[in-house]
Structure 1
Amino acid sequence: MDKQNSKYRWIVFTAVLFTYFLIVSQRTAPGLITDQLMKDFNVSASAIGLLTSIQFLAYASLQIPIGILSDRYGPNLFLIAGALLNGLGTLIYSAAPNEFVLLISRALVGMGDATIWVNLVLILGQWFRVKEFVGLLGFAGMAGSLGFLLATYPFSAWIAWSGWRTPFFTVGILLCLCGFLLYVVLVKRPNQLFKDHPAAVQTEQQRENTFLMLKRIFSDRQAWATFFCHFGLVGTYVGFIGSWAVPYGMQMYGMSRSQVSQLMMIGLVGAIVGASLTTWIANRLESIKRPYMVVHLVVLVSWIAFLVFGGKPPFFMLAVLFFIIGYGNGASALTFAAVRQSFAMREVGVVSGFANTGGFISAILLPSIYGKVLDHFQPVSSGAGYTYGFIIPVLFAALGVMGGFLLREQRKESSKASGISV
């Protein structure tokens, strides 16, 4: 039986996307309790920034190694291990007695999260035809956005009802169960159904070429273009939503936690629309660069608007800005469409990891720097810290625009090598 023509591939798709949905929710859910953590553990804004950054530091530092190992040994076991590690970290977070344990738990979550997207891209490449790939990336982006959506009003209401520890404990249990589900769906059942199940281990000759492959990728303009595209769209959104959006809304607009979470939902609706609509437009235009450049420029203008209005735009405009910035995050699925289009399949894992590193280096830097700005402009209630803090996402989004300019459309020589046509 051919995997790419089997009905079973949709079971794989559903199991992987459900796991991704839960994992993504834990990237920003801690941002809902930023002020509570500061009170409960008596920590500063800088410490909260570090707590957020350590998760994304673990994520970003492992992207390229995970990409290399997944290209070599296959994505299944890494995806399973990542779900289990993420679940374990979330469980520890729910029971943390002090800020040190919080830090360790977020590092574990980041390590588990690091395995997810790269291997999701590889699994979609294995189970689905090339013509299906870009559209399915849009659905994967939507699943991630729904995960972020879970970590807004629904999670906020749950926290208000039961306290913050119970929701994180429950999600941790679910993630551990997802790890076992993925083992059955990706390993046990396919071994029974498909006799041509590919061997995970590649040849010795391919292993010896890893250094040369990395050297070529690190000097490749297209790889750096995808790195900066992701840096400008993903890190600014995830870094801000995951750390400072809730206190920003509460202190600058006097909103409740629940009201801010509803505002964040507007951004997540934008991300859902951005993931599906932008990949559809790219398919219709048979171009990745043109729609992606428009997205980058509009997101840059949106971050500039925060500065123009002194960090406090009118509320209606604030809702629109959140929607646009969220749309950009959803549209970032085009980064991996560009990777799949431009590089041979044997390199897709490591280049996807490299591109993804860009987004999460940005997500590491933004919360930490933003927290230092807030600490510098005390008292926080004055709003000056938030105003000057928006310089950071403006600069990061400008690097994303640069990545868009560097991005090239399909390179014929690479496409022929990998058998890709878009």
Structure 2
Amino acid sequence: MTKQSSKLRWVIFASVLFTYLFMSSQRTAPGLITDQLMRDFSVTATTIGLVASVQFFIYTALQIPMGLLADKYGPNLLLIIGASLAGIGNIIYSASTHEYFLFFSRVLTGIGDATIWVNMILILNIWFSKKEFTRLIGVSGMTGSLGFLLATVPFSVMIGILGWRGAFLLTGFILCCCSVVLYVLLLKKTKQSTVIRQHSRQEKTFVILKRVFKNRQAWALFFCHFGIVGGYIGFVGSWAVPYMMDVHGMTRLGASQLTMLSLIGALIGAPLIGWFTSNLGTIKRPYIVFHFIVLLCWSAFLLFPEHPPFYLLIVLFFIIGFGFGANSLTFAIVRQTVPMSESGIITGFANTGGFLSAVLLPSTFGYILDFSQTSTNSIVDGYYFGFLIPVLFSIVGIIGVMCIMESNGNRGSDRNREGTQ
């Protein structure tokens, strides 16, 4: 029985998704206790901001190295180690007595988090056929959004019951248990060796990186992901609530509820777009359409010098979230067009583009706000010109997706690709 017809693949898929759910929740969960940390550790908001952001920087910086390691040694051990590090990081976070321990714990969590997406893509690549992969990659993207959702009301309730230390301790314990389950499923059940070399001929890292940086397809995927990810994560995760409070006069609760609508759009969009694309038989054309839709939504903010009417704001936030759900198609194209021996590095390279834009947008948007308030003393004008950033990012994404070369042929049979593990 081949891996792609084994019932074990569904157990593995569910276990990896459960791990991803809790890992992704820890990207934003510390934001729920900012005031408590400042009070308990007697530190400034700047210090807490540094602690919170270090995980994103490490995640972004490690995507390419993680792809290289996954291509050389296989995804199994890396994912197991990553889940362990994320778990240990959360346990240390829960027991911290000094801000240095908080910082160190988020570094460990960031390293662990950096392992999940690239290696999950490779595991799906090995265990599922091309058509199944396109559908399941959408479900995987939805799981990441569910992780953000888990880090809102459910995690707040957990903090209320257990206290913030108890909540992070429990999460760390769950992630450590996930690493044990993954070890049993990926290594023991499949009787794999601890380290699995993807191919016998090992090239120098510099040679591999040089080839990737000269690869037009790799850059197209980088810019494609850059354009569709940054606007959603960068704006919705940082400036959406302040925008609705400052410009539309909404309460924090009302603004948060509208942000939740965008998250619901992403939850619906990811699996639906994956299913639709797998049945359509092409990836590039629908991906171009969703990129254009997202660009039109961001551009709509520029049509209103003051602000869009509230009913339009609801529509825009939902569609932007729904369009963000298409970002998983980047990796469906990797699956279709990139040799298995380089799937990890190209996946990591493309994912770096997405999270680089998510890191750049909040700071750039904030700079425009500060400049506008200094020069015109108008926060409304600041937000208006700030929307130029997601518009420009979206244009970069459209250029990227239009430059992608889509292949209808196979890179080699699934059976042959499975044999590399």
Normalised by the length of structure 1, the TM-score is 0.85
Q: Is 1:200 matched up with 2:196? A: yes
The alpha-carbon deviation at position 346 of structure 1 amounts to 1.1
The alpha-carbon deviation at position 230 of structure 1 amounts to 0.9
Change (3 A) 1:179 1:190: same
Kindly report which structure 2 residues correspond to 1:63-82, keeping only aligned pairs within 5 A, or say none. Answer: 63-82=63-82
Change (3 A) 1:372 1:43: farther
Q: Which residue of the partner structure matches residue 43 of structure 1?
A: 45
Q: Which residue of the partner structure matches residue 237 of structure 2?
A: 242
Unpaired runs of 5+ residues, structure 2, are none
Kindly report which structure 2 residues correspond to 1:247-266, keeping only aligned pairs within 5 A, or say none. Answer: 247-266=242-261
Moved more, 335-344 or 153-162: 153-162
Kindly report which structure 2 residues correspond to 1:219-368, keeping only aligned pairs within 5 A, or say none. Answer: 219-310=214-305, 312-368=307-363
Amino acid at match of 2:340: M
Match for residue 415 of structure 1 among 411, 414, 417: 411
Q: Distance in 2 between matches of 1:245 and 1:90?
A: 28
Change (3 A) 1:199 1:155: closer
| Contact 2:187–2:193 (CA under 8 A) maintained in structure 1 | no
Q: Distance in 2 between matches of 1:37 and 1:378?
A: 30
2:308 is paired with a residue of what secondary structure?
coil
Amino acid at match of 2:387: F
The alpha-carbon deviation at position 333 of structure 1 amounts to 0.7
Q: Is 1:171 matched up with 2:166? A: no
Q: Distance in 2 between matches of 1:362 and 1:132?
A: 29
Change (3 A) 1:415 1:186: closer
| Contact 1:153–1:258 (CA under 8 A) maintained in structure 2 | no
The alpha-carbon deviation at position 120 of structure 1 amounts to 0.3
Unpaired runs of 5+ residues, structure 1, are none
Deviations 1:381-417 (A, max 9, x none): 94554444333222222211111111122175x7359
Q: CA RMSD in A?
A: 3.2
How many residue pairs get aligned? The number is 412
Q: Is 1:180 matched up with 2:180? A: yes
Q: Distance in 2 between matches of 1:324 and 1:10?
A: 31
The alpha-carbon deviation at position 281 of structure 1 amounts to 2.5
Q: Distance in 1 between matches of 2:33 and 2:235?
A: 14
Q: Distance in 1 between matches of 2:284 and 2:363?
A: 31
Q: Which residue of the partner structure matches residue 393 of structure 1?
A: 390
Match for residue 208 of structure 2 among 181, 190, 213: 213
Q: Distance in 1 between matches of 2:348 and 2:372?
A: 36
Q: Distance in 2 between matches of 1:133 and 1:225?
A: 21
Change (3 A) 1:234 1:226: same
Amino acid at match of 2:300: A
Q: Which residue of the partner structure matches residue 402 of structure 1?
A: 399
| Identity score, percent | 55
Q: Distance in 1 between matches of 2:2 and 2:405?
A: 33
Amino acid at match of 2:324: N
| Contact 1:31–1:243 (CA under 8 A) maintained in structure 2 | no
Q: Distance in 1 between matches of 2:390 and 2:134?
A: 28
Change (3 A) 1:346 1:28: same
Amino acid at match of 2:233: V
Q: Which residue of the partner structure matches residue 11 of structure 2?
A: 11
The alpha-carbon deviation at position 92 of structure 1 amounts to 4.0
Q: Distance in 2 between matches of 1:308 and 1:35?
A: 37
Change (3 A) 1:318 1:169: farther
| Contact 2:63–2:352 (CA under 8 A) maintained in structure 1 | yes
| Contact 1:54–1:364 (CA under 8 A) maintained in structure 2 | no
Amino acid at match of 1:240: F
| Contact 2:227–2:354 (CA under 8 A) maintained in structure 1 | yes
| Contact 1:218–1:224 (CA under 8 A) maintained in structure 2 | yes
| Contact 1:41–1:98 (CA under 8 A) maintained in structure 2 | no
1:409 is paired with a residue of what secondary structure?
coil
Change (3 A) 1:165 1:398: farther
Normalised by the length of structure 2, the TM-score is 0.86
The alpha-carbon deviation at position 236 of structure 1 amounts to 2.2
Change (3 A) 1:123 1:202: closer
